[in-house]
Amino acid sequence: MRSKSQNFDEIDNKLLALLQQDADLSQRDLADRVGLSQNACWRRMSRLTEAGILKGRRAVVDGAALGLDLTVFIMIRTRHHDDSWARRFRARIEAQPEIIEFHRIGGEWDYMAKAVTQGMAGYDALYKRLIIGMDLERVTGVFSMEPIFEGRPLVAPG
């Protein structure tokens, strides 16, 4: 049984799911919702934190309220496959605050970046900053017409 080897059970999973949805829940609320005493619940959180599973909390901000209303996935294919170019490219990517996620990927593209911009004008500005002098083979923006959901909690398979 895998849950045994990982040393956690359904209650831990529920705890993790709850905290990923709302880390402002008080110990009392948490304890109530998982059906444990406040004390036992706190011990579990401690264990999960020490095990490195709970890594901290982050504030959630409303992008739209900041004018960041367009989500776009940028697919990139490069002509260069040496280390020094890759480092330069990563630095370029990191310098773009609109890019909130970045992966090296398999398949017909080399990289994928997720960006959130102020409309299409914001994307265009980002695009120009991104490509200049990088000699990319191909770049295409895949636009989110409707972000149906984001940020769902990670849950350990049963």
Q: Return residues touching DNA (CB under 7 A).
A: 11, 26-28, 35-40, 42-46
| 139 binds, options a second copy, DNA, none, Cβ within 5 to 8 A by partner type | none
**In angstroms, rounded to a whole number, what is the distance separating the alpha carbons of residues 73 and 3?**
35
C-beta separation of 139 from 75 below 8 A? yes
Of the residues 24, 50, 82, 83, which one makes contact with a second copy according to CB under 8 A: 24
Decide whether 37 or 144 has the Cβ nearer to DNA: 37
C-beta separation of 85 from 67 below 8 A? no
What residues have CB less than 8 Å from 89, skipping those under 6 apart? 78, 80, 111, 134
The verdict on 69 binding a second copy (CB under 8 A) reads no
The verdict on 153 binding a second copy (CB under 8 A) reads yes
What residues have CB less than 8 Å from 112, skipping those under 6 apart? 73, 74, 75, 76, 102, 103, 105
- For residue 81, the minimal CB distance to DNA (Å) is 47
Near a second copy in 117-136, by CB under 8 A: 118, 122
C-beta separation of 18 from 30 below 8 A? yes
Near a second copy in 46-65, by CB under 8 A: 51-63, 65
Closest by Cα among 100, 97, 96 to 60 = 100
The tokens 């705890």 sit on which residue? 15
The verdict on 154 binding a second copy (CB under 8 A) reads yes
Which residues would be at the binding site for a second copy (CB under 8 A)? Answer: 2, 6, 16, 19-24, 51-63, 65-68, 71, 73, 90, 93-94, 97-107, 109, 112, 116, 118, 122, 140, 142-157
